[in-house]
Chains A and B, each alone.
Chain A
Amino acid sequence: MQRNRPPSAQAISVLRALAADPARWRYGYDLAAEVHLKSGSLYPILVRLADRGLLETSWEPGRGSRPPRHLYRLTLAGREYVAALAPTRAGRAVPRPRSRWSEA
């Protein structure tokens, strides 16, 4: 059963970063750098957002011998979610440089 817990401050910061340019596909590493999250915190957040239908993923085919890269952007539901979130939780979505493992 899918549990819809309220998103953490870190998840909200990821949502906001994605919502800044919702049409643009983003790389995981760039996203992590932008919101100051470690990879160990970012990927569980992305997994949970995708599970909740707020995030869509795609693959950028590998060039030459380089492997493919996973891309992320908000779904329509994700954009609506962020829009609904903004007025109430705007002040709490401050990214922190040091993150907890289980945040998602």
Chain B
Amino acid sequence: MAKAFIFMMCPVGIAVALLRRYAWAVPAGPAARGDVPERLLRWAVGLLSARRAEWGQAMLGELDHIEGRGRRWRFAAGCAGAALLLPPWGRAAAAVWAMVVAAAGAAGVYAATIVRYRLGAGDWVSAAIALVFLVSFTLAAATLLRRPGVAVPGLLGGLFVALTWLALSGFTFYGVTAPMTAPWTPLIAEVAVPVLVGVAGTLRGGSAAAGRRTARLAAVSAGLGLYLYATIAVAVLGVGGPPEDTGWTVSYIVSDRLGNNVIKHLVVVPLVTATIGWAAAAATARIRPRLATSVASVPLTAAGPAGEASRHPVTTPQEAGPAVRVRSWHRTAYLLLLCAAVAAAVFLAAASGLRG
């Protein structure tokens, strides 16, 4: 029950995050258009290394002078693509390659297992779905790894999450294939560990945004690693390992385990880790107000490169007036909803553990 509740709360958490980001956000400044092309480009140029930050501002400044929806879209999309690929990537390149190898390895083992056990067309469809997840995770990791101060805590967080799940399964292929029966495992793996990752990422990064990104990178890297491990386990064990229901054929058992791996390691683990970690990051920033300020997107300045006078100078609450009061109310509502969701998840997980 607790697992189901935590899993169901994840979409709620994501919805709250999206509401907070887009619906309740105060515009960046009086002249900011805030349309989708500008948001897309702001996000993309935020991935550029400090050495290339000026080029990001150049793209944003140019976009502001382009009229017409289609033209703005084309320009922003092209620049975003360039910003995503523009070197230097530094040490992030090695981590991205590691992710690519893990994803390709998992997909290769999945395909080899299907061929070896002569599974049906439905399994190839499952493999294609898994491949979509793997590619998405790799792309997500590639963007997160380029964010300043996210790579190391995110990858360490992912290692921590993956090791916890493996420890709870006894570090064996048998254990990772079998369902976790201990009643306290959901509380540890799905609540405590993501909370730790989110809190640590926030404290280390100095902002809620850094904590959220750390949790997201930990989620995708742990999901990739665990999925690779679990897929190898199925390939090695075949019909061995934990006993299954009588009457199941070899191909059915292998197919079922491969499908379970996709659900558990490519959906549940990343979703729960990212969402609970996000909530923990937000709560940590609230508890320690000096951390609450999010890392701003690339600053656009009046006279050129960052460091000079800001185009959208920070206003005091008195100057901002009603806008700040409205945002304050929204933030309070958001915080209450967040706390209620986390408290309910923790309570139900604990209740489930005690009942078991």
Cross-interface CB contact of B78 among A40, A46, A64, cutoff 8 Å: A40
Interface centre among A28, A40, A47 (most CB of B within 10 A): A40
Indicate whether B59 reaches chain A with its CB closer than 8 angstroms: yes
CA A27 to CA B64, docked complex, whole Å: 12
* Interface residues, chain A, with chain B CB atoms under 8 Å away: 27-29, 38-44, 46-47, 57, 59, 61-62, 64-70, 101-102
Contact B64 A40, beta carbon cutoff 8 Å: no
Closest 5 CB pairs between A and B? A40-B78, A59-B304, A65-B31, A70-B58, A39-B78
Contact B82 A39, beta carbon cutoff 8 Å: yes
Contact B303 A69, beta carbon cutoff 8 Å: no
Contacts of B65 in A (CB 8 A): 27, 29, 66, 69
Contact A43 B302, beta carbon cutoff 8 Å: no
Contacts of A47 in B (CB 8 A): 52, 55, 86
**Would A67 and B55 be within 8 Å (CB), given that A39-B74, A59-B304 are in contact?**
no
Indicate whether B60 reaches chain A with its CB closer than 8 angstroms: yes
Indicate with 1 or 0, residue by residue over B65-85, a CB within 8 angstroms of chain A CB atoms.
110000000111111111001
Indicate whether B61 reaches chain A with its CB closer than 8 angstroms: yes
Contacts of B100 in A (CB 8 A): none
Q: Is the interface of B mostly helix, strand, loop or mixed?
A: helix
Q: Which of B7-32 contact A (CB under 8 A)?
A: 29-31
Contact B75 A39, beta carbon cutoff 8 Å: yes
CA A23 to CA B339, docked complex, whole Å: 61
CA A91 to CA B127, docked complex, whole Å: 49
**Would A65 and B30 be within 8 Å (CB), given that A40-B82, A101-B85, A102-B85 are in contact?**
yes
13 contacts between A and B (CB under 8 A): A39-B78, A40-B80, A43-B78, A46-B55, A61-B304, A62-B303, A65-B311, A66-B31, A67-B64, A67-B300, A67-B311, A68-B300, A68-B304
Indicate whether B62 reaches chain A with its CB closer than 8 angstroms: yes
B57 nearest CB across to chain A (Å): 7
Indicate whether B251 reaches chain A with its CB closer than 8 angstroms: no
B115 nearest CB across to chain A (Å): 34
B19 nearest CB across to chain A (Å): 28
A80 nearest CB across to chain B (Å): 24
**Would A43 and B74 be within 8 Å (CB), given that A29-B65, A62-B303, A66-B65 are in contact?**
no
CA A76 to CA B55, docked complex, whole Å: 22
Contact B78 A38, beta carbon cutoff 8 Å: yes
Cross-interface CB contact of A59 among B75, B78, B303, cutoff 8 Å: B303
Indicate with 1 or 0, residue by residue over B297-313, a CB within 8 angstroms of chain A CB atoms.
00011111100000100
Nearest residue (CB) in A for B311 is A67
A10 nearest CB across to chain B (Å): 13
Contact A44 B74, beta carbon cutoff 8 Å: no
A54 nearest CB across to chain B (Å): 16
CA A27 to CA B63, docked complex, whole Å: 11
Contacts of A44 in B (CB 8 A): 82, 85-86
Contact B62 A27, beta carbon cutoff 8 Å: yes
B59 nearest CB across to chain A (Å): 6
Q: Which of B228-286 contact A (CB under 8 A)?
A: none
Contacts of B76 in A (CB 8 A): 39
**Would A40 and B301 be within 8 Å (CB), given that A29-B66, A65-B31 are in contact?**
no
CA A42 to CA B86, docked complex, whole Å: 12
